């Protein structure tokens, strides 16, 4: 590779500019990597307790549904849940974290989740549906944060690879080429000086 390099002062100047640019890029990417890491750690700290809460809420909801099914006839359960009156819509907005688009989930709920009369249903079914309704907020929040974490983790890996390539490959190779050209120019300068001294000796003789 170095054998094909033009050992000229112009090439040396261009390489020094490329080193400066690569060093600046390395610094900016390192800052981006560190900030994404901080954001990822923050989100991870939020995810763990939220996941435990959601699992607890869904387990309680499932338990209540099982109790309701045990206390009601199957056709009554089916009839009670056949025509839902609760409407649920979900919208997605995006925010930028270090140029990474992360989603923010917005929900809208209208109507009552209890969509049946009380004569043929168990109170456990009421409790189960209300518990499920309460779990929605935390479930959506968990989905939002887990998606954010995956996106940031992907970007973090890409940024780390770029930092490593710049730090361990690009910049060292450029600096090595600069040293090679500098040595070649210095050698040419010495040869030129030697020739001039010989010419001067010949003229004096």
pLDDT by residue (tens digit) across 159-182?
Answer: 999 999 999 999 999 999 999 998
pLDDT by residue (tens digit) across 75-119?
Answer: 888 887 777 777 878 888 998 888 889 888 888 878 787 877 776
Q: Is 156 within a domain?
A: yes
Q: Is 200 within a domain?
A: no
Helices marked H in the chain — which ranges? 9-71, 74-80, 123-165, 171-204
Q: Is 132 within a domain?
A: yes
Structural domain of 89: 2-195
Mean pLDDT of 61-77: 85
pLDDT of residue 49: 93
- How many structural domains comprise the chain? 1
DSSP-derived letter for residue 167 is: I
**Contact at 8 Å (CB) between 25 and 202?**
no
Q: Is 202 within a domain?
A: no
Enter the pTM of the model.
0.75
Most confident listed range (3-12, 62-71, 114-123, 146-155): 146-155
pLDDT of residue 3: 53
For the range 60-67, what are the long-range contacts, defined as Cβ-Cβ under 8 Å and sequence gap of 24 or more?
Answer: 60/131, 61/128, 61/131, 61/132, 61/135, 64/124, 64/125, 64/127, 64/128, 64/131, 65/124, 65/125, 65/128, 67/122, 67/124, 67/128
pLDDT by residue (tens digit) across 13-38?
Answer: 999 999 999 999 999 999 999 999 99
Q: Is 56 within a domain?
A: yes
Q: Is 203 within a domain?
A: no
Mean pLDDT of 45-57: 92
Q: How confident is the model at residue 132 (pLDDT cuts 50, 70, 90)?
A: confident
Residue 100 maps to which CATH number?
Answer: 1.10.287.3240
């Amino acid at each position: 590779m170095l054998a094909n390099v033009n050992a000229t002062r112009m090439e040396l100047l261009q390489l020094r500019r490329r080193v400066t640019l690569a060093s600046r890029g390395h610094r900016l990417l390192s800052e981006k990597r560190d900030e994404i890491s901080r954001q990822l750690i923050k989100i991870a700290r939020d995810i763990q307790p939220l996941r435990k809460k959601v699992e607890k809420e869904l387990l309680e909801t499932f338990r209540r549904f099982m109790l309701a099914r045990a206390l009601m006839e199957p056709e009554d359960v089916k009839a009670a849940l056949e025509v839902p009156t609760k409407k649920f819509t979900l919208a997605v907005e995006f925010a930028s974290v270090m140029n990474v688009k992360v989603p923010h989930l917005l929900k809208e709920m209208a109507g009552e989740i209890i969509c049946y009369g009380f004569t043929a249903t168990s109170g456990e079914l009421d409790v189960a549906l209300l518990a499920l309704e309460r779990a929605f907020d935390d479930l959506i929040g968990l989905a939002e944060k887990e998606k954010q974490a995956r996106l940031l983790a992907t970007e973090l890996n890409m940024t780390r690879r770029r930092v490593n390539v710049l730090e361990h490959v690009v910049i060292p190779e450029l600096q090595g080429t600069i040293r090679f050209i500098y040595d070649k120019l210095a050698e040419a300068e010495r040869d030129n000086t030697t020739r001039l001294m010989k010419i001067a000796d010949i003229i004096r003789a």
